[in-house]
Amino acid sequence: MTDEERDSVEKGRVSRRAFLKGGAAATGALSASLIPDVAEAQLPDATEPDARRSIVEMRVNGVRYRQEVPNSTTLLQFLREDLKLTGSKMGCDRAQCGACTVIVNGRNVYSCTTLAVEATGGEVLTIEGLATGDTLHPIQQAFVEHSGYQCGFCTSGQIMSSKALLDKMPNPTEDQVRTALAGNLCRCSAYKKILESVMAASRLARA
């Protein structure tokens, strides 16, 4: 091919390099039209406090705790993950099984659906706060003596609900115990032994 023919061909077509350069320029122009000016974007102010976090302050088993947590933190998460009190168990995470039961201001609650911020300023009692040194609480002792557990996963919740009941009603009937523990499920179906344990604990507490 002569130089003249080569010049003619080059003039009649777009080179690969020119095509790529033109495409990049067009893409850049389109992107610039779609992306808002960074200077006008509403960026979070790092100096402002995070509105999604709060300070929680409560007494747990007689010990005062004060800590900042995300507002979505449940009381169960705060107890297990922040305070390392793992006696309260995560079962259903839907307020249906009772394995996570603790006592807040004298009332048994599902800690899996109670926010930590809701317990701020309160008195929280967990299974770890029942025994005195090596001496078991009467309810714990009764559960041991009457085999009120099998796998033990639900036991802490069963005991805490029993504690809340016996604090208010030291001498309950069997039907009253059944009603009080209706929100605590046992996957092993040890309900007869649980009932015997609570009735025995009632007698121990009054002895």
What's the fold here for domain 47-129?
Ubiquitin-like (UB roll) (3.10.20)
Joined together, the tokens standing for residue 56 give: 């929680």
Q: For position 206, what pLDDT does the model report?
A: 77
pTM: 0.75
The pLDDT assigned to 32 comes to 42
Residue 100, beta-bridge partner list: none
Where the chain has pLDDT below 70, the residues are: 1-50
pLDDT tens by residue, 41-51? 344 454 455 67
90 by DSSP, 3-state: which? coil
**What local confidence, expressed as pLDDT, does residue 34 receive?**
39
Say what the pLDDT of residue 36 is: 40
Give the pLDDT of residue 102. 98
Q: Where in the chain is the domain with CATH 3.10.20.30?
A: 47-129
Q: Which of 77, 148, 150, 140 is nearest to 110 (CA)?
A: 77
Which architecture characterizes domain 130-207 according to CATH? Orthogonal Bundle (1.10)
Backbone CA torsion sign across 90, 95, 99, 102: positive
